[in-house]
Amino acid sequence: MKILRKCLPVVAGLLSVAAIATTANATTALNIGGSSAARNFMGITPLGLCDQTPTPNYYITANNNFHTWTCTITTQGLSDTSVVIRYTATASADGILKLQVPTGDPASIMQFFDLGGTLGCTGPVVTTVGTKTYNAFTNCSNTNLTPLTGPAALPVHMGASDVGGSSFGQSGPLFTTPPTTQPQLDDSTLNVTQTAVLPFSIFVGKGVVKVDSGGNPAGPISGLTRLELEQILARGVTDWTRLGYGTVTDAAPTVVETTSPIVLCLRNAGSGTKATLDQTIMINTTETPGLAPNANVVFSSGTGGVLSCLAANRRSIGYMDSDQETHFLAGGDNVGLAYAVRVDGTLTHDVSKTDPREDLKCGRYSYWTNERLNRRTTSEGADIDALATAFITNASTSATIAALPGVGNYWLAPSDMFVSKNADLGPINWKTGAHPQCR
């Protein structure tokens, strides 16, 4: 685990104790918010901290943006061992902005799933991951949320951001009221921990195909170059035929369409996924400069919106965290509606290789960043501080990440990488030692 700022001091007599909502069985609360790309990672990570007796409870809303655990944790020296850990997925900018003010400030408040409200969940379903078991409550109400004002409003204690503050500076969509922009942010006043390696992938809709010399569909495209991606995402190329590709329909899967307008599935400004794209892919140009949202340019406030856009548009292209691929694979909820493609011949998870993560570990794959967990430099209280520290340590561990369902095949601990980078755009630094896997 690499700490980028000074360690969090616990200063007696200077505790900033937030007003937190509690349930009958949860008196220590850790509230986390930010990155939507990290929602699966942040959502399931608390399982590694919770005791098995009593069985932990895990609540997930239908839109997958609100995650809450209630459990007992007796291993971290907490004075109150009944715990609630909450995560709300919005955008990476929130993972910085919410921490730039004290916990008593209204700007620190975020909505979380309300355990005291009408839950509307399915379950519980007893679920086992490795040696751990929990009660899963799924499809919970998306609208059963804590308030933004009043004594029950909850501050953010820790923020998740896919990028550093200086990597922001994006706009889009511009043609809204007000326009969506996100200037650069200063995170130098926060304690920032690079917790895990977060890979992103480029996805295209199911109808996008290669075209053979006879003009017939020849199966899914294998990949795109970074230069092709720049042209597509800047709208320099607006039809798949310009790149020698095409699209087909369900009604006529053996016939290539005459025209194949590209549908862009994009993120709003403030997204770490978008900011990472800007730093690692869009080197020579800017994504969709000055374009208004329309039928072929779709902006979304979170990962879920991009997922829905890709699934609904067979001519589409979009970008999300790589673990979203599971939605399109066997057992997923959008099987076959889109697929991940190579970037400059590489994938974050290449099943044709002995080590499917070789391209990522060796730095050949470019579209990745370090997930950051941000904290204030003032104490939130001894129990919250201890729980946050334990969460960061757990989330940084190779064994923890590898065991996470839906995440462990894509994300990596920094210790698993043969390369590193201190800035989101690079350069890549090789770690000490020989790395024959990367030849």
pLDDT for 12 equals 31
pLDDT score of 160: 98
For residues 313 and 327, state if they share a domain: yes
CA distance 34 to 112: 12
| 206 & 187 share domain | no
Q: What are the beta bridge partners of residue 299?
A: 266
- What DSSP string describes 294-337? BTTEEEESSHHHHHHHHHH-TTEEEEEEGGGGGGTSTTSTTTTS
Looking at the fold, whether 297 and 177 belong to one and the same domain comes out as no
377 and 14 in contact (C-beta within 8 Å)?
no
**CB contact at 8 A, 415 and 358:** no
Task: State residue 173's pLDDT score.
Answer: 87
366 within some domain: no
* CATH code at position 303: 3.40.190.10
Measured distance CA(368)–CA(411) in Å, rounded: 10
Give the total number of structural domains in the chain.
2
Residue 149 φ/ψ region, left for φ over 0, alpha for ψ in the -120 to 50 degree band, beta for the rest: beta
Dig out the tokens for 304 from the structure.
């879920």
What's the pLDDT score for residue 5?
39
Using a 10 angstrom Cβ sphere, with 0-12 exposed, 13-18 middle and 19 or more buried, the burial of residue 105 is exposed
Based on the domain organization, do 343 and 207 belong to the same domain? yes
Residue 389 lies in a domain: yes
Q: Which residues contact 250 (CB under 8 A, 6 or more apart)?
A: 314
- State the number of CA atoms in the 13 A half-sphere of 269 facing the CB: 22
Instruction: Point out the domain boundary residue: 308, 327, 361.
Output: 361
Q: Is residue 213 part of a domain?
A: yes
Looking at the structure, do residues 390 and 420 belong to the same domain, yes or no?
Answer: yes
DSSP for 358-375, written as a single string? HHHHTT---SEEEEEEEE
pTM here is 0.92
Domain with 344 in it = 199-361
Which residue, chain included where needed, has tokens 């320099």? 236
Distance, in Å, from the CA atom of 434 to the CA atom of 190, rounded to the nearest integer, reads 35
Do both 347 and 398 map to the same domain? no
Give the pair of three-digit tokens for residue 330.
């066997």
- Residue 196: name the closest of 357, 8, 35, 38 by CA: 38
For residue 48, tell me if it sits in a domain.
Answer: yes
Could you tell me if 16 and 103 are in contact, meaning their C-beta atoms sit under 8 angstroms apart? yes
Residues in CB range of 24: below 8 A, 6 or more apart: none
In this structure, are 53 and 76 located in the same domain? yes
From 361, 385, 409, give the residue that closes a domain.
361
Q: Are residues 257 and 114 in the same domain?
A: no
Residue 354 domain-assigned (yes or no): yes
Contact (CB, 8 A) for 410 and 199:
yes
Domain stop point among 300, 328, 361? 361
Please name which of 81, 98, 97, 76 lies closest in space to residue 31, comparing C-alpha atoms: 98
Q: Are residues 342 and 375 in the same domain?
A: no
Task: Please give the pLDDT value at position 7.
Answer: 36
- How far is it, in rounded angstroms, from Cα 87 to Cα 252? 44
Do the strands 57-61 and 132-140 form a parallel or antiparallel pair, or are they unpaired?
parallel
Say whether both 182 and 222 belong to one domain.
Answer: no
On whether both 335 and 404 belong to a single domain, the answer is: no
Q: In terms of domains, do 351 and 423 share one? A: no
d(CA 287, CA 354): 35
Q: What is the dihedral of CA 50, 51, 57, 60, to 10 degrees?
A: 20
Walk along the chain (439 residues) and give the pLDDT tens digit of each residue: 333 433 333 333 322 333 333 333 458 999 999 999 999 999 999 999 999 999 999 999 999 999 999 999 999 999 999 999 999 999 999 999 999 999 989 999 999 999 999 999 999 999 999 999 999 999 999 999 999 999 999 999 999 999 999 999 998 888 887 888 999 999 999 999 999 999 999 999 999 999 999 999 999 999 999 999 999 999 999 999 999 999 999 999 999 999 999 999 999 999 999 999 999 999 999 997 666 778 899 999 999 999 999 999 999 999 999 999 999 999 999 999 999 999 999 999 999 999 999 999 999 999 999 999 999 999 999 999 999 999 999 999 999 999 999 999 999 999 999 999 999 999 999 999 999 999 8
Residue 376 phi/psi, 5-degree rounding, is -70, 160
d(CA 332, CA 203): 15
Residue 239: DSSP 8-state = B
What is the rounded CA–CA span in Å between residue 25 and residue 61?
Answer: 21
- Distance of alpha carbon 392 from alpha carbon 172, whole angstroms: 32
Cβ atoms < 10 Å from Cβ of 80: 13
